Amino acid sequence: MIEARGIKKKFGNLEVLKGIDFNVEKGEVLCIIGPSGSGKSTLLRCLNRLEEITEGTIKIDGEDIHDRKTDVNKLREKLGMVFQSFNLFPHLNVLNNITFAPVELKKMDKKQAEEKARYLLRKVGLEDKALVYPEKLSGGQKQRAAIARALAMEPEIMLFDEPTSALDPEMVGEVLQVMKDLARDGMTMVVVTHEMGFAREVADRVIFMDDGLIIEEAAPEQLFTAPQNPRTKDFLSKVL
Ligand code: ADP
Ligand code: MG
């Protein structure tokens, strides 16, 4: 589903991605861990062209995302994204937050979009919040609504950038549970996270990034119990 080769990204003179290669297979959950500033968010943002890469190639579903024929809007429909800050539209209730893009961008019938939204709200455990405005939701509820909103576009891949980092501890579990359900249902996912327990339990593979490079890539059991690189060991000793 994702094939990234030789990805480099500079902001001015600062090179934040220094040659990244990775693949994600259909239905696979890839977790990316690593210290702050290592380039994790930038890498995710390059996948849907929220950032433009300086060098390299990225194929999504076999299609080069920098090909002149590639429609960036279509590309972004394929890749649902969930951020640390929930980014819900404050002036729309939860239901309309979810139906907005399907109706406006995909020209989905409004009634059909609402049915789909209510189904997704049930899935994330928010069926009773459809008509509530974001300000009345807890952080965990906002993030679950944001996940439902991303799913409403029927993405092929879900990208999560530290989706639980802004949450009070008691709300982390409910969001991780929704993500676990998604993984179990076969969604292809790339998850930047500090939740090592989640990575260990749910990831098919884990990547450790440091200073713009992939330092180590392994199955979670391997990476968490027997890291090979001293930098991985050092990072894990600080966070576990
Ligand atoms: P992470 O998500 O791993 O914490 P980021 O991808 O956010 O790392 O950032 C990697 C580096 O790129 C950091 O040094 C950060 O300051 C820098 N950076 C990120 N976005 C920009 C930007 N838009 N302009 C300039 N520098 C940026
Ligand atoms: Mg980040």
What is the domain extent for residue 155?
2-237
Question: Looking at ligand 1, which residue's alpha carbon is closest to its atom 20?
Answer: 42
DSSP letter assigned to residue 54: S
Task: Give the pLDDT of residue 177.
Answer: 98
Q: Can you list the pairs that 112-117 forms with residues at least 24 positions away whose Cβ atoms lie under 8 Å?
A: 113/152, 116/152, 117/148, 117/152
29 CA distance to ligand 1 centroid (A)?
Answer: 24
Tally the domains of the chain: 1
Task: Give the pLDDT of residue 233.
Answer: 97
Task: Tell me the ligand closest to 162's alpha carbon.
Answer: 2
189 CA distance to ligand 1 centroid (A)?
Answer: 22
148 CA distance to ligand 1 centroid (A)?
Answer: 27
Give average pLDDT by consecutive 10-residue segment, the chain, 240 residues.
Answer: 98 97 98 98 96 97 93 94 94 98 95 98 97 97 98 97 96 97 98 97 98 98 97 95
Decide whether any atom of ligand 1 lies within 6 Å of the 38 Cβ.
yes
CATH number at residue 183: 3.40.50.300
Task: Give the pLDDT of residue 96.
Answer: 98
Q: How far is CA 208 from the centre of its chain?
A: 16
Reported ipTM: 0.98
